[in-house]
Each structure stands twice: as C-alpha cells, then as structure tokens.
C-alpha cells in the first residue's frame, strides 16, 4: 500500500490531536479534583464561609484549567487545519506538536491545583485575609502555567514555521526531539512550582503578617524550579533552528532524537525535587521568622545540588547536537 504525503499528514495530525487533548486532560483533572476535595473539607470545618471558599475554588480551578484549554486549542487546530506540504517532515511536525502540548499540560494542571487547594483551606482558617490569599494564589498559579505556555509556543512553531525545506533525514528526528524536550521537561517544573505556591498560601493563612515575605520567597523558589523547563525550551529551539546537514545514515538522526529525550526526561526530576525543597523552606519561613536567612541559604544550596543532574542532561543533549 502506498499513500501520498497529504494522507500521511492527516494521519499524523489526527493522532497528534488525540495525544494533545488526551495527555493534556490528565493534569487539569487531577489538580482541579484535589482543589475541590480540599475546598469541601474546608467548608465542612467552617460552613459560615462557604461562599468565599466556593468562589476561591472556582477561580483556582479556572487557572488550573488553562493548560488543558491550550491542549484543546492545539487539538482543534490539528483537526481543522489543512497543512499544505510536500515533505514528510510535516507528518512528524504535526505529531510532535500534539505530543509536546499534551505532555506540557500535565505538570501545570496538577501544579496549579495545589495553591488553589491551599487557598481554600486558608480562607476556612483565616477568613479575614481572603483577598491577600487569593492574590497570592493567582500569582503562584500563573507561574505554574509558564511551562505549559512554553509547550504551546513550541507546538505552534512546529505547525506554522515551515520546516519543510530542510532535508528529511535528520530533520524528522530534530522535530520529534524538540517536541519531547519541551513537553517532558514542563512536567517537573509545573508540578514543582505548584508545591511551592501551595506552601506559600498556607504560610499566609497561618501568619498573615508575613504575606510579603511569603510571596517573594515563593517567586524565588518557583523561578529556580522553572530552570529545567527553560533548558528544555532552549534545546527545542536549537533542535528546530540549527541547520542540520542532510544525511543518509541513521546515527545523526538518533543523536538529535536522543538529545530531545535526554533533556526532556532529565528535566522532570530536578523540577519536582526543587519544588519539594522550596515548599519546605517557604513553609518554615512563615513559622520561624528569625531563621529566614538560614532557610533561604540552605534552600538555595539544596536546590543547586538538585539542579546538577538537570545540567548533566543539558550537557549530554548539547554534546549530542553539536559534538557528535
């Protein structure tokens, strides 16, 4: 059986569309479910505040939903756009685009659920500061969404920048690797940032006077947690926009695919681990004001060590692209 290229592109686009929304729905559903569970518990403890808690739950869930809405948009674009191309690269690009967005939405969806849940609990505990808590939750969950926005950017670049003029081998592998690098590395960063934001909301509800310190240290912790997602984005950009010389052999293509996989998978662990670290540090900064300096220092040292394997992964990725 021989099929023409437009048929293969349709095959890739429909498969990519299913992957985008199928994978992309996982995170938001878990995150929002967790928020609803904690909101229900908070209402049972403090029924008089059910209105505020309910409102805060809905706002938090709406933000957690945004990652899966990105996935829905990409899935729709893949379904209803006719991609004009006479190259098999487009087949890989549509598939990689769906994979990238689907994987990239998992972490952000789960992560954004944690601060929303903590805010609901906090309003139950300290109804007086619901405004400050909601603001902190909004900032925290917005930062959780950044890795999914990276994934959206790469998904659209894959679909609309016209990589067709490049040689099929090894560009097909570079395209797939670019999607996997950003998509996979977004999982850890999204999840980790959510953990940090949750403990910052918890801290504000326990110690309303420490609100500024909580927001600042949350942003510091989240920024470091995001770094591996940024490495993933960087590797994706290099894979997409570096000129790869045409080749007949398999090895250079596998080097590019391996590079994307290496950075993508390697970015997951440090993101989650650094999230745990900053979560604990921020939680104890709220309780022990006098040791904020010590806590920040230990947090930064601990995160730097946890980051090291992410940096090894980036080094191997860069060797696979530039040296091999």
Query: Which residues of the shown chain bind other proteins in the complex (CB under 8 A)?
Result: 169, 188, 192, 248-251, 253-255, 257-277, 279-281, 283-285, 287-288, 290-291, 294-295, 297-299, 301-303, 305-310, 312-313, 315-317, 319-320, 323-324
Count helices and strands (H / E) in the chain. Answer: 9, 0
Residue 153 tokens read as 């950017």
Residue 265 CB, nearest approach to other proteins (Å): 3
Identify which of residues 136 and 279 has a Cβ nearer to other proteins in the complex: 279
Identify which of residues 4 and 290 has a Cβ nearer to other proteins in the complex: 290
Rounded Cα gap, residues 111 and 144, in angstroms: 6
Identify which of residues 60 and 115 has a Cβ nearer to other proteins in the complex: 115
Cα 243 from chain centroid (whole Å): 28
Identify which of residues 85 and 277 has a Cβ nearer to other proteins in the complex: 277
Residue 192 CB, nearest approach to other proteins (Å): 8
CA angle, 136 as apex, 133 and 140 as ends, to 5°? 135
Rounded Cα gap, residues 28 and 109, in angstroms: 4
Residue 171 CB, nearest approach to other proteins (Å): 14
DSSP 49: G
Rounded Cα gap, residues 221 and 176, in angstroms: 31
Residue 208 CB, nearest approach to other proteins (Å): 19
Rounded Cα gap, residues 21 and 209, in angstroms: 42
Identify which of residues 2 and 290 has a Cβ nearer to other proteins in the complex: 290
Identify which of residues 124 and 203 has a Cβ nearer to other proteins in the complex: 203
Q: Are 25 and 103 in contact (CB under 8 A)?
A: no
Q: Are 64 and 32 in contact (CB under 8 A)?
A: yes
Residue 37 CB, nearest approach to other proteins (Å): 23
DSSP 88: T
Residue 173 CB, nearest approach to other proteins (Å): 10
């Amino acid at each position: 059986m021989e099929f023409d290229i437009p048929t293969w592109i349709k095959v890739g686009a429909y498969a990519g569309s299913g992957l985008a929304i199928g994978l992309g729905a996982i995170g938001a559903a878990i995150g929002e479910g967790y928020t609803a569970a904690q909101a229900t518990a908070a209402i049972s403890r403090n029924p008089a505040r059910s209105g505020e808690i309910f409102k805060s739950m809905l706002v938090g869930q709406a933000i957690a939903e945004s990652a899966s809405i990105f996935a829905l948009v990409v899935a729709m674009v893949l379904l209803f756009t006719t991609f004009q191309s006479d190259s098999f690269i487009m087949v890989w690009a549509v598939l990689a685009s769906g994979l990238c967005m689907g994987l990239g939405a998992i972490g952000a969806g789960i992560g954004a659920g944690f601060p929303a849940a903590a805010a609901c609990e906090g309003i139950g505990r300290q109804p007086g500061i619901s405004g400050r808590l909601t603001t902190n939750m909004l900032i925290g969950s917005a930062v959780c969404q950044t890795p999914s926005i990276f994934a959206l950017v790469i998904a659209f670049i894959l679909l609309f920048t016209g990589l067709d003029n490049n040689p099929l081998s090894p560009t097909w592998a570079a395209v797939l690797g670019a999607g996997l690098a950003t998509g996979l590395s977004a999982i850890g960063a999204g999840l980790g940032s959510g953990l940090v934001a949750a403990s910052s909301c918890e801290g504000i509800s326990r110690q309303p006077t420490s609100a500024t310190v909580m927001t600042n240290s949350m942003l510091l912790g989240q920024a470091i947690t995001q770094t591996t997602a940024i490495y993933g984005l960087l590797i994706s950009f290099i894979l997409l926009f570096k000129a790869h010389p045409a080749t007949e052999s398999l090895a250079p293509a596998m080097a590019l695919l391996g590079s994307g996989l290496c950075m993508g998978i390697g970015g997951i662990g440090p993101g989650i681990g650094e999230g745990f670290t900053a979560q604990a540090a921020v939680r104890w900064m709220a309780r022990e004001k006098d040791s904020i300096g010590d806590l920040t220092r230990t947090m930064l040292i601990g995160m730097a060590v946890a980051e090291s394997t992410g940096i090894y992964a980036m080094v191997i990725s860069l060797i696979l692209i530039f040296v091999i």
